[in-house]
Amino acid sequence: MAVYKFIEKKGYAGKYSTVAAFVKKHEQVETQKATIRFETTPGLQAQVDWKENLTMINKNGEIFKINIFLMVLGYSRIKYVQLTTDR
């Protein structure tokens, strides 16, 4: 329904059932693509994500600026997370 409402605002004059059938067909294809895992050998790969300047407030109302480092090992999927106040 969200896709139909979006394209209707853009000028689409067709029926909802046509859009629903199209979305259902492509949703199944995209779901299958999304479930493919990328396997690596041990020690070969890790994915790193870094998020800077997040604001956190504790229960006393103190404001903290933090950074988050996340590394996921490709083979075992083990995660390492580190919160820091500096870069």
Question: Residues 43-55: pLDDT tens digits?
Answer: 899 999 999 999 9
Which range, 36-40, 66-70, 73-77, has the best average confidence (pLDDT)?
66-70
79 and 70 Cβ atoms separated by less than 8 Å: yes
Question: Residues 27-47: pLDDT tens digits?
Answer: 776 666 666 677 888 989 999
86 and 52 Cβ atoms separated by less than 8 Å: no
Average pLDDT over residues 68-79: 94
In sequence order, the β-bridge partners of residue 65 are 55
Q: Which is nearest to 68 in space by CA: 46, 57, 87, 84?
A: 84
